Homo-oligomer: A and B are copies of this chain.
């Protein structure tokens, strides 16, 4: 199932003329399989054993490439480092401000907003990004003590 996603992602790279290297393969695979939203450093560390001499720069370079191609979204968790998320369906994220947990939820894409923005600003809109913040049930419970 996630193999289908990987195959589609690789095809999508091929279509755009982006070379498929072992590192890119591994980074994509990791992004798809990890159910989390890793930082560049998380990815680097996770692939260290498989690619003992991969450079951090490679991770950053490829995350940028994937983002440009539209395979990957960049999130902002709240701390100083960026998170990366493999784009599947139109899902959004709810982020716990206390413990940092991120929960995905599906929601019909907000096409109207993009359309509206395009009309008002004259921009050639390509995509949007939304995050919702709050406290998860666990943290909300703890706080009420």
A contact residues vs B (CB 8 Å cutoff): 74, 76, 78, 80, 82, 92, 94, 96-97, 103, 105, 107, 110, 113-114, 116-118, 120-137, 140
Interface of A (DSSP majority class): strand
Copies assembled:
2
Residues of B within 8 A of A105 (CB): 116-117, 120-121
Q: Check B123–A134 contact: CB distance below 8 A.
A: yes
Q: Check B132–A131 contact: CB distance below 8 A.
A: no
Residues of B within 8 A of A113 (CB): 92, 107, 110, 130, 132
Complexed CA–CA distance, A30 and B83 (Å): 30
Complexed CA–CA distance, A80 and B80 (Å): 9
